[in-house]
Amino acid sequence: MNLQSAREALLPIMATAALGAGLTACAASTGAAPRPSVPATTATTPTAEDSTAPAPSPTLNLAQLRFVSDMRNAFGFGNGVQAASLASFGQHVCNDRQSGRSVAGEVPYARRSWANISKGDAVLMVTLAAKDLCPAQSSPQKVTYVVTGSGANVTYGPAGTDYTGTAPMSVSRTLGQPQFYSINAQLTSDGTVTCKLQVDGVTIATGSASGISKVASCQMEQGFNGSWENINPSG
């Protein structure tokens, strides 16, 4: 092989080497870095805290929702009192009523459940529970006029009436639309006379008097929320 032929054979090899060197230099001058490898993911096991979902709020039925609404409207319970708590109270009352407990027998439970409510408020709560949640236990409310002692003339009844009687006496009537009920018992001789106004067996107002011509007076009226309250100045 002559010199010219050797040169011609080496030219392709030299060109390829130069191209490779050029590419290497280009990469170095642009600062290109090798592509990072993607780290392998590690499976984690959920903890008890992760896997425990929040307890769902109890779902109330239509009757319970109606009772909750009636309680909020009557007593001004705000959002601080949970609907589930009100519904639970109403259901407890209904269970007791269905087992034979009277309205009067349920009033102590209502007053323990809700602080600072009157006996009239407690009666209304029990009445609402029966009306909304266990209608079979709901019945027209009754007012009872009770006078104990002797030797007294009695006038009693709702506003606009003057029923008469003598002590001792106990008369029950269905509560009507009037918002005021009273008893006046005047002694005709020396002695003591006592009066009571009761709603569904729960004493709302009482009064007493001693001595000839003295008068025992009991008065109650229905508040804006529907509960019966004592308005007798003497108790």
Give residue-wise pLDDT tens across range 7-32: 454 445 444 444 444 434 444 444 44
Dihedrals phi, psi of 186, to nearest 5 degrees: -105, 125
Rounded to whole angstroms, how far apart are CA atoms 143 and 71?
23
Q: Is residue 188 included in any domain, yes or no?
A: yes
pLDDT at 143: 97
Residues 150 and 217 in one domain: yes
Residues of the chain with pLDDT under 50: 1-7, 9-11, 13-33, 36, 38-51, 235
Asked if 170 and 224 sit in the same domain, the reply is yes
Q: Tokens for 163, please give them.
A: 């029923």
Asked if residue 43 is part of any domain, the answer here is: no
Distance between CA atoms of residues 48 and 199, nearest Å: 54
Say how far apart CA 230 and CA 209 lie, in whole Å: 17
**Residues 155, 117 share a domain:** no
On whether both 150 and 225 belong to a single domain, the answer is: yes
d(CA 133, CA 148): 37
Domain-located, residue 19 = no
DSSP-H helix ranges across 31-82: 48-51, 62-75
Q: Is 149 found in the same domain as 85?
A: no
Q: Which helix (H) or strand (E) holds 15?
A: helix 3-30
Considering the domain architecture, whether residues 182 and 196 belong to the same structural domain is answered as: yes
pLDDT reported for residue 10: 43
* Dist CA 92 CA 156 (whole Å): 36
User: Is 20 inside any structural domain?
Assistant: no
Q: What is the pLDDT of residue 32?
A: 47
Residues 211 and 171 both lie in one domain: yes
Query: Residues near 231 by Cβ (< 8 Å), separated by ≥ 6?
Result: 205, 219, 220, 221
pTM of the model: 0.74
Domain-located, residue 17:
no
User: Among 137, 166, 197, which residue terminates a domain?
Assistant: 137
In a domain, 128, yes or no: yes
CB atoms within 10 A of CB 30: 8
146: in domain: yes
Does 165 share its domain with 190?
yes
Q: How many domains does the chain have?
A: 2
Which residue, of 104, 137, 170, is where some domain finishes? 137
Q: Are residues 106 and 92 in the same domain?
A: yes
Domain shared by 118 and 149, yes or no: no
Give the CATH number, domain containing residue 224: 2.60.60
Task: Let me know whether 160 and 216 are in one domain.
Answer: yes
According to the model, what pLDDT value does residue 41 have?
A: 45
Helix (H) or strand (E) holding 10: helix 3-30
Sequential DSSP letters for 113-168: HSTT--HHHHHHHHHHHHHHH-GGG----EEEEEEEESSEEEEEEETT--EEEESS
- CA 211/CA 187 separation, integer angstroms: 7
Contact 107, 121 (CB under 8 A): no
Domain boundary among 107, 137, 167: 137
Judge whether 180 lies within some domain.
Answer: yes
pLDDT of amino acid 57: 61
pLDDT, tens digit, for every residue of 197-234? 999 999 999 999 999 999 999 999 999 999 999 998 75
User: Is residue 110 within 8 Å of 74, Cβ to Cβ?
Assistant: no
Which range of residues forms the domain containing residue 92? 62-137
